[in-house]
Structure 1
Amino acid sequence: MTSPLSQRAHNVVGSANSLMWDIMRNPWCPTSKPDGYVNVGVAENALMHDYLLNYMNTQLTLPAKYLTYNDGAIGAERLRCAMAAFLNKHLHPVKPLTSNDLLVTNGVSSAIEHISWAFTDPGEGILLGRPYYGTFIPDMSVRPGAVVIPVAFGECDPFSVDAVECYERALLAFQATTGRKVRALMLCHPHNPLGRCYPKETMVQLMRLCQKYQVHLISDEIYALSVWKNTIDLGTPVPFESALSIDTAGVIDPGLVHLLWGMSKDFGANGIRLGVIISQSNPVLLEAIKGVSLYTYSSSISEHLAAIVLEDDDFTTRYIQLNRQKLAESYAFAATYLKDHGIEYAAGANAAFFLWVNLGKKYRELHPEETANLGDEISDKVMQLLLQRKVFLASGFLFGSEKSGWFRIVFTHPREYLEEALRRIVLALGDL
Structure 2
Amino acid sequence: MNNFESFPNRKGTRSMKWDLVKDMFGSEDIQPMWVADMDLEIADPIKKALVQRIEHGIFGYTLTDEQLDKVIQQWLIKQHDWEIDADWIIYSPGVIPTIHMTILTQTDPGDKILIQTPVYHPFQQMIKTHQRELVTNPLIYQNGRYTIDFVDLEEKFKQGVKALLFCSPHNPVGRVWTETELTKILALAEKYNVLIISDEIHADLVYEPAKHIPIGSLDSLIRDKVISCFSPTKTFNLAGLQVSYAVIPDKKLRTEILAVFAKYGLNALNTLGIIALEAAYQAGDEWLADLIQLLQQNYQLVKNTFADCDQIDVIQPEGTYLIWLDCRKMNLSQGDLVKFMNEEAKVGLNNGLTFGEEGRGFMRLNIASPTAYVKEGVDKIIAALNRT
- TM-score between the two structures when normalised by the length of structure 1: 0.76
Task: Tell me the equivalent position of 1:8.
Answer: none
Letter in 1 for 2:79: H
1:261 aligns with 2:230: yes
- The correspondence for 1:106, drawn from 89, 93, 96, is 93
* Unmatched runs of 5 consecutive residues or more in structure 2: 1-14
CA distance in 2 between partners of 1:418 and 1:208 (Å): 41
**Deviation of residue 274 (structure 1)?**
1.2
Distance 2:386 2:104 in 1: 46
2:8 aligned partner: none
Deviations 1:112-139 (A, max 9, x none): 2122222211111111111111111223
Residue type of the alignment partner of 1:388: E
Counterpart AA for 1:165: V
Match of 1:86 in 2: 75
Aligned with residue 247 of structure 2, among 248, 270, 278: 278
Q: How does 1:131-146 map to 2 (within 5 A)?
A: 131-142=118-129, 144-146=130-132
DSSP 3-state at the match of 1:285: helix
Deviation at 1:197, TM superposition (A): 0.9
Relative to structure 1, is the Cα distance of residues 345 and 354 closer, same or farther in structure 2, using a 3 angstrom cutoff? farther
Task: Note the alpha carbon deviations across 1:185-216, whole angstroms, 9 max, x for none.
Answer: 12211111111111111111110110011111
Amino acid of the residue matched to residue 59 of structure 2?
A: L
Superposed, which structure 2 residues align to 1:246-395 within 5 Å? 246-248=218-220, 252-280=221-249, 282-294=250-262, 295-296=265-266, 297-310=268-281, 312=282, 315-361=283-329, 363-364=330-331, 378-389=333-344, 390-395=346-351
Please give the alpha-carbon distance, in whole angstroms, between the structure 2 residues aligned to 1:155 and 1:335: 18
Q: Tell me the residue number matched to 2:12.
A: none
- 2:30 is matched with which residue? 37
AA at the equivalent of 1:303: I
- Closer/same/farther in 2, CA of residues 186 and 260 from structure 1, 3 Å limit: same
CA distance in 1, matches of 2:66, 2:207: 32
Contact 2:306 2:314 in 1 (8 A): no
Match of 2:4 in 1: none
- Contact kept, 8 Å, 1:194 with 1:346, in 2: the verdict is no
1:53-83 Cα distance to aligned partner (Å, 9 max, x none): x333333322879622222xxx444333322
Q: Distance in 2 between matches of 1:200 and 1:65?
A: 47
What amino acid sits opposite 1:36 in the alignment? Answer: D
- For 1:272, the aligned partner's letter is L
Structure index of larger Rg: 1
Partner Cα separation in structure 1 for residue 305 and residue 248 of structure 2: 42
Q: CA RMSD in A?
A: 2.6
Percent of pairs with identical residues: 21
Q: Distance in 2 between matches of 1:197 and 1:145?
A: 30
1:57 aligned residue? 47
Asked whether the 8 Å contact 2:202–2:319 carries over to 1, the reply is: yes
Whole-Å separation in 2 of the counterparts to 1:154 and 1:26: 34
Q: Which amino acid aligns with 1:274?
A: V
Aligned residues: 362
Q: Distance in 1 between matches of 2:325 and 2:301?
A: 15
Match of 1:426 among 362, 382, 385: 382
The residue number in structure 2 matching 1:240 is 212
CA distance in 2, matches of 1:324, 1:228: 7
Alignment of 1:187 with 2:155, yes or no, is no
The C-alpha deviation readout for 1:205-245, integer Å capped at 9, x for no partner, is 1101100111112222111111124xxxxxxx643222133
3-state SS, counterpart of residue 127 of structure 1: strand
Quote the Cα distance in structure 2 between the aligned partners of 1:399 and 1:427. Answer: 27
* Residue of structure 1 equivalent to 2:5: none
Distance 1:257 1:347 in 2: 29
Q: Which amino acid aligns with 1:91?
A: H
Q: Secondary structure at the match of 2:77?
A: helix
Aligned amino acid, residue 296 of structure 2:
A
Distance 1:164 1:65, change over 3 A: farther
Q: Is the 8 A contact 1:105 1:276 kept in 2?
A: yes
Change (3 A) 1:23 1:303: closer
1:109 aligned counterpart, secondary structure: helix
Hey, what does 1:25 align to over in structure 2?
A: 19
Report the Cα distance in structure 2 between the residues aligned to 1:223 and 1:259, rounded to whole angstroms: 12
Matched to 2:213, the amino acid is E
Once residues 106 and 239 of structure 2 are traced to their aligned partners in structure 1, the CA distance between those partners, rounded to angstroms, is 26
In 2 relative to 1, CA 431–404 (structure 1 residues): closer, same or farther, beyond 3 Å?
A: farther
Identify the residue that residue 171 of structure 1 maps to in structure 2: 157
Hey, what's the Cα distance between the residues in 2 that align with 1:307 and 1:58? 12
Quickly say closer, same or farther: Cα 1:401–1:329, change in 2 above 3 A: farther
Assess if the C-alpha contact under 8 Å between 1:260 and 1:277 holds in 2: yes
1:151 corresponds to which of 124, 129, 137: 137
